[in-house]
Structure 1
């Protein structure tokens, strides 16, 4: 296609998103990979799913060979205007209330609050039956 060095916006590149016309953005460069779709070892779906965004991370995650990277130059059509690519938003977890890691002591207190009155009641009933049966 030739290295004319034209500057494209992401919106312009995103218009080329089907099997008859497929462009990708990788490392700030725009590539027309339409002719390569059938020959791509990962299948054409992989390339088609990478249209309309910066596909650099997808490209690098696969670990392409140096010959594959050299082959890309024949598909180069220009550069991407980086100001048109949305910046990645860092995930921030929502604020949560403080977590008390020592729940054991709280559990023991609640358990004792339940068991101690039962123990006292049982002891009182037991003493009453014992004194009744001892006097009879």
Structure 2
């Protein structure tokens, strides 16, 4: 590694995406891990699935050891042009109507709001007439 690092775009790195030629991007650095594929403790599929994107989060989530980080230096080939990595967008959930927990339609609720008091009134009138007749 000299004073001037080679700068790669993400599309250039993405072309190296198979078992005979595998490059990944971690923390802004580009690594040619082709020779390491069969020795990777997590298997070659993990590395192959990390091509064509910034794999920093995947790498950090696993919690690699300090010796693993030092080992990476031998596979270093250059830097990634950060302007070629898509910005992460904030997740916005889709707009949905108000959740009606009991799944009762609003029309039925409105009918019940009218009918229940009416039924109580009718029951009261019926009891009053029944008690007068007795």
Q: TM-score range by the shorter chain?
A: 0.7 to 0.9
Query: 1:130 Cα deviation (Å)?
Result: 3.2
Instruction: Give me the whole-angstrom Cα distance separating, in 2, the residues matched to 1:45 and 1:130.
Output: 84
Aligned to 1:46: 46
Query: 1:40 Cα deviation (Å)?
Result: 0.4
RMSD: 2.6
Aligned to 1:10: 10
Q: Given the two structures, how large is their TM-score scaled by the length of structure 2?
A: 0.78
Q: Given the two structures, how large is their TM-score scaled by the length of structure 1?
A: 0.77
**Highest Rg: 1 or 2?**
1
Which shows bigger deviation, 34-43 or 121-130? Answer: 121-130
Q: Unmatched 5+ residue regions in structure 2?
A: 100-110
Query: 1:29 Cα deviation (Å)?
Result: 0.9
Aligned to 2:31: 31
Query: 1:17 Cα deviation (Å)?
Result: 0.5
Query: 1:91 Cα deviation (Å)?
Result: 2.4
Which shows bigger deviation, 118-127 or 56-65? Answer: 118-127
Aligned to 2:77: 77
Which shows bigger deviation, 86-95 or 28-37? Answer: 86-95
Q: Report the number of matched residues.
A: 122
Q: Unmatched 5+ residue regions in structure 1?
A: 100-109
